[in-house]
């Protein structure tokens, strides 16, 4: 797979960081094309041909017949299929990786996203803020319980399941970081997991991709 060539359309946000981390961890050959979402570049028709909902990330895998993907979870699972190191060898491990990856894209990501959104609502909406903060804590507690039992979300191997969740919890661009959710103090297993992942060379390199 070393000769595979990928083109990643991303931005410096947790959903973009997921894919740079996965590509770096896989040792994949890729070029990075920033899509400045703060300037609306995601709405260009040329970009929406790749990502119909006008969101980052999107990925092109240059094969004889190029493969195009949007949605970070789909991209992660596609890469996991190409690079078994990102998902584990056993069927049961791969099943857990899928479950945790879907959990991140269906639960943690959208709930943390809404939590962040209501921090800047005008006029302020205390009920929504409290609602989403409660749901974010519920997600954090789910992770804390799992990580009290296993080193990584799907078991004893670092996989795309961890790659999906890590930036939403611990990258500088995470709303949980920005709005001071005290998971570091309250969730020791989660803290250990996040610090371990943050120290990986692939992750350090990926988070520098802008």
Ligand X SMILES: N[C@@H](CCC(=O)N[C@@H](CS)C(=O)NCC(=O)O)C(=O)O
Which region among 13-21, 86-94, 144-152, 194-202 touches ligand X (by CB under 6 A)?
13-21
Which region among 51-59, 87-95, 119-127, 137-145 touches ligand X (by CB under 6 A)?
51-59
Q: CA distances (Å), 1 to each of 10, 97, 168, 177, 186, in order? A: 22, 21, 28, 35, 41
Q: State the CB neighbour count (10 A cutoff) for residue 97.
A: 27
Q: How far is the CB of 10 from ligand X (least distance, A)?
A: 9
Which region among 9-17, 26-34, 123-131, 195-203 touches ligand X (by CB under 6 A)?
9-17
Token digits for 115?
């939590």
Query: φ and ψ at 70, to 5 degrees?
Result: -130, 170
Q: How far is the CB of 175 from ligand X (least distance, A)?
A: 10
Q: Which of 6, 8, 9, 13 binds ligand X (CB under 6 A)?
A: 13
Nearer to ligand X, 51 or 146 (CB): 51
20 binds ligand X (CB under 6 A): no
Q: Which of 15, 114, 165, 174 binds ligand X (CB under 6 A)?
A: 15
Nearer to ligand X, 48 or 131 (CB): 48
Q: How far is the CB of 199 from ligand X (least distance, A)?
A: 24
Reply yes or no: is the peptide bond before residue 123 cis, omega within 30 of 0: yes
- Give CA–CA dist 197/203, Å, rounded: 7
Token digits for 87?
């998902």
Residues 63-122 that bind ligand X (CB under 6 A): 71-73, 105, 109
- Give CA–CA dist 125/161, Å, rounded: 32
Which region among 48-56, 135-143, 150-158, 179-187 touches ligand X (by CB under 6 A)?
48-56
Handedness of CA 123, 129, 131, 136 (dihedral sign): positive
Nearer to ligand X, 57 or 88 (CB): 57
In angstroms and rounded to an integer, the radius of gyration of the C-alpha atoms of the chain is: 17
The torsion region of residue 71 among left (phi > 0), alpha (psi -120 to 50) and beta comes to left
Q: How many residues bind ligand X (CB under 6 A)?
A: 14
What are the residues binding ligand X (CB under 6 A)? Answer: 13-15, 37, 42, 54-57, 71-73, 105, 109
């Amino acid at each position: 797979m070393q000769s595979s060539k990928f083109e990643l359309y991303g931005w410096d946000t947790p959903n973009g960081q997921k894919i740079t981390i996965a590509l770096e961890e896989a040792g994949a050959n890729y070029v990075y094309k920033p899509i400045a979402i703060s300037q609306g570049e995601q709405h260009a028709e040329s970009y929406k041909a790749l990502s119909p909902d006008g969101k980052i990330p999107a990925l092109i895998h240059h094969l004889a017949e190029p493969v195009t993907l949007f949605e970070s979870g789909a991209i992660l699972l596609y890469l996991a299929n190409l690079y078994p190191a990102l998902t584990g060898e056993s069927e049961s491990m791969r099943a857990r990786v899928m479950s945790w990856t879907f959990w991140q894209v269906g639960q943690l990501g959208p709930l943390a996203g809404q939590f962040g959104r209501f921090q800047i609502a005008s006029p302020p909406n205390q009920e929504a803020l409290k609602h989403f903060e409660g749901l974010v804590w519920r997600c954090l507690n789910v992770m804390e319980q799992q990580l009290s039992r296993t080193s990584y979300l799907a078991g004893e191997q670092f996989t795309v399941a961890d790659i999906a969740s890590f930036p939403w919890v611990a990258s500088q661009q995470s709303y949980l970081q920005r709005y001071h959710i005290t998971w570091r103090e309250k969730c020791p297993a989660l803290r250990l997991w996040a610090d371990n992942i943050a120290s990986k060379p692939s992750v350090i390199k990926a988070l520098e991709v802008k």
